[in-house]
Amino acid sequence: MRQKILVVDDDGDCHEIVLQLRGLRYGIIQADSCAKGVQKAVSETPDLIIMELGLGGVSGVEATRWLKEDPRTKHIPIIVHTASQEGSYTNKALQAGAAEVLTKPVSTDVLEEAIQRSLKSSSQP
């Protein structure tokens, strides 16, 4: 059974990461806002979430915090995928519970390594 990845991003660059994930043979769930992403995380129970930080409305940092505080989703690893180079912003995502931060654009190899690290660490007791 293919592992499912929820991609939360409202940017056109999201198309590139979705193509990368499909090429790596992951099942893809998409959400174009943090609110929809949180809803889909609860209803779809993905194996991993890739979250954009700079979304309108609820921020990716806040959505990450909510997901990590919710008993239904706290076990799901979250990789932040952002164009922001601002260290304090990415540090907030890590403090909120993100497993790691990837800066756009990201190569398929780097993406796959980050996914494997996050999935492996989430399956360990």
Give the percent of the chain with pLDDT over 90: 54
pLDDT at 12 over 60: no
Average pLDDT, rounded, for the chain: 87
In this prediction, residues 28-36 reach a mean pLDDT of 91
Each residue of 53-92: pLDDT tens digit? 877 777 889 999 999 999 999 999 999 988 877 777 789 9
Per-residue CA distances from 34 to 4, 45, 65, 86, 108 (Å): 18, 15, 11, 20, 24
In this prediction, residues 94-107 reach a mean pLDDT of 91
CA distance 47 to 60: 18
Each residue of 39-57: pLDDT tens digit? 999 999 999 999 988 777 7
State which amino acid sits at residue 97. Answer: G
The pLDDT assigned to 1 comes to 65
In CATH, which superfamily holds the domain spanning 4-120? Response regulator (3.40.50.2300)
Which DSSP string corresponds to 75-111?
TS-EEEEES---HHHHHHHHHHT-SEEEESS--HHHH
pLDDT at 118 over 90: yes
Domain ranges of the chain: 4-120
Sheet holding 78-82, edge to edge: 27-31, 4-8, 48-51, 78-82, 100-103
